[in-house]
A = this chain, B = another copy of it.
């Protein structure tokens, strides 16, 4: 079973010394996998011609498919066209088809093609022009030795469109793939990576066709099973040497073992899961955030349609705001402090009562780096939920920097909502 191998080359100095990560390669890899193509490496390079030439030459020899993204703009630091032309000895010239695309796109924006913009219509000899329907830079495709080399813009929206409408159709037509990547992921919260590994590794034989990968982040631990399986097989999951569908078997086993800490499978984030649950149970939510500073509301509202279950949120950073917006008694704050289970419960009851929603949720804690003490260290967070089943609160001790503590707190609070709503 031959797998088709791809390299992704992301071009731009900002990817090396400019504080920018290459995020295009995420969806490019997904789209290649859909065509049965496995990404072997992703390379980020600067704008230096020589470095681009070395990488282009190596990848065009090692990979069947090379996707180059970035450096197609009209500014001085955009040198991808030049690098491809010189590496493969294909002189650059203006291509009428590319100029047509450029003109159409520029004029649509009510502007004219300046000499600076016109650089985008220059392409290496023999290149097939790829249309760009959302930006000004056309892409191109060349066949070089064994490799299919696609050059697409670096702007994510343009790269995505071009992958979908230009690159994928060509790949599907040109390459006869026999294998497709099968993956299945489980998203968990509450157990460390090593404990999960100990729980599930007994299911995996050394000879297994399925690879296991565990990934810990502030979201929890993501468990991914993956394997390349034959397109000709009737089963949609990889088979072991014994011929049975090992993928289906392992998914069942792992799901059962992870059940207590599993919040979703596949790409569904915690905010999507919580949104679906609140939506299906017709529950309205009110949020009272202190240390998370609006992050829970922000995450919930990243999901389209969230107005169906989020009535409001308040970010009560000051004690005055906690009193005025949530009716938390000053005496309670004086006696127990703003970071306490008592304050968390009063905040949850306060937002539920004042906004007359089904569920009131609160988070209060010390995100750091300052504000901690021996008794209440940085990372100490209380959260509470008030609803038809009564009030529940929990105490968490998180670690990490301010951003991590805020995120872990938001994730735990959303999980608290999920667990509470499941039983309504």
Is the pair B211, A77 in contact by a Cβ cutoff of 8 Å? yes
A316 lies within 8 A of chain B by Cβ: yes
Partner of A14, one of B15, B215, B315, B316: B215
Q: Kindly name the residue among A58, A75, A289, A368 whose own CB sees the greatest number of chain B CB atoms within 10 A.
A: A75
The CA of A324 and the CA of B354, in the complex, are separated in Å by: 9
The CA of A313 and the CA of B312, in the complex, are separated in Å by: 11
The CA of A352 and the CA of B16, in the complex, are separated in Å by: 44
Query: Restricting to A10-31, which residues have a CB under 8 Å from any CB of B?
Result: 12-23, 25-26, 29-30
Main secondary structure of the interface of A (DSSP, over half): mixed
The CA of A14 and the CA of B30, in the complex, are separated in Å by: 12
Is the pair A157, B400 in contact by a Cβ cutoff of 8 Å? yes
User: Smallest distance from the beta carbon of A122 to chain B beta carbons, Å?
Assistant: 17
User: What B residues does A402 contact at CB under 8 A?
Assistant: 302, 304
Partner of A201, one of B76, B181, B400: B76
Is the pair A117, B194 in contact by a Cβ cutoff of 8 Å? yes
Query: Restricting to A132-175, which residues have a CB under 8 Å from any CB of B?
Result: 155, 157
Is the pair B17, A33 in contact by a Cβ cutoff of 8 Å? yes
- Chain copies in the assembly? 2
User: What B residues does A55 contact at CB under 8 A?
Assistant: 41
A84 lies within 8 A of chain B by Cβ: no
User: Smallest distance from the beta carbon of A144 to chain B beta carbons, Å?
Assistant: 19
Chain B residue with the shortest CB-CB distance to A22: B21
The CA of A297 and the CA of B224, in the complex, are separated in Å by: 34
A204 lies within 8 A of chain B by Cβ: yes
Is the pair B47, A54 in contact by a Cβ cutoff of 8 Å? no
User: What B residues does A13 contact at CB under 8 A?
Assistant: 211, 213, 224, 226
Is the pair A73, B41 in contact by a Cβ cutoff of 8 Å? no
The CA of A39 and the CA of B26, in the complex, are separated in Å by: 22
Is the pair B224, A406 in contact by a Cβ cutoff of 8 Å? no
Is the pair B312, A317 in contact by a Cβ cutoff of 8 Å? yes
A337 lies within 8 A of chain B by Cβ: no
Partner of A317, one of B39, B41, B311: B311
Is the pair A315, B301 in contact by a Cβ cutoff of 8 Å? yes
The CA of A369 and the CA of B303, in the complex, are separated in Å by: 10
Chain B residue with the shortest CB-CB distance to A307: B317
User: What B residues does A108 contact at CB under 8 A?
Assistant: none
A44 lies within 8 A of chain B by Cβ: yes
Query: Restricting to A280-317, which residues have a CB under 8 Å from any CB of B?
Result: 287, 289, 292-298, 300-302, 304-307, 310-317
User: Smallest distance from the beta carbon of A403 to chain B beta carbons, Å?
Assistant: 6
What is A's interface to B at a CB cutoff of 8 Å? 12-23, 25-26, 29-30, 33, 38-48, 51, 54-55, 58, 62, 73-77, 114, 116-117, 155, 157, 181, 183, 185, 193-194, 197-198, 201, 204, 211-217, 222, 224, 226, 267, 287, 289, 292-298, 300-302, 304-307, 310-318, 320-321, 324-325, 354-355, 367-370, 400-403, 406
| Between-chain CB contacts (< 8 Å), 26 pairs | A12-B215, A14-B224, A16-B40, A17-B226, A19-B26, A21-B21, A21-B26, A40-B45, A40-B46, A74-B194, A77-B211, A114-B194, A292-B301, A293-B300, A293-B301, A293-B306, A293-B310, A294-B315, A297-B297, A302-B406, A304-B369, A311-B320, A312-B325, A313-B315, A321-B355, A325-B325
Additional pairs, 7, CB under 8 Å, beyond known A17-B183, A41-B43, A298-B406: A14-B215, A16-B29, A21-B23, A157-B400, A297-B298, A302-B402, A324-B354
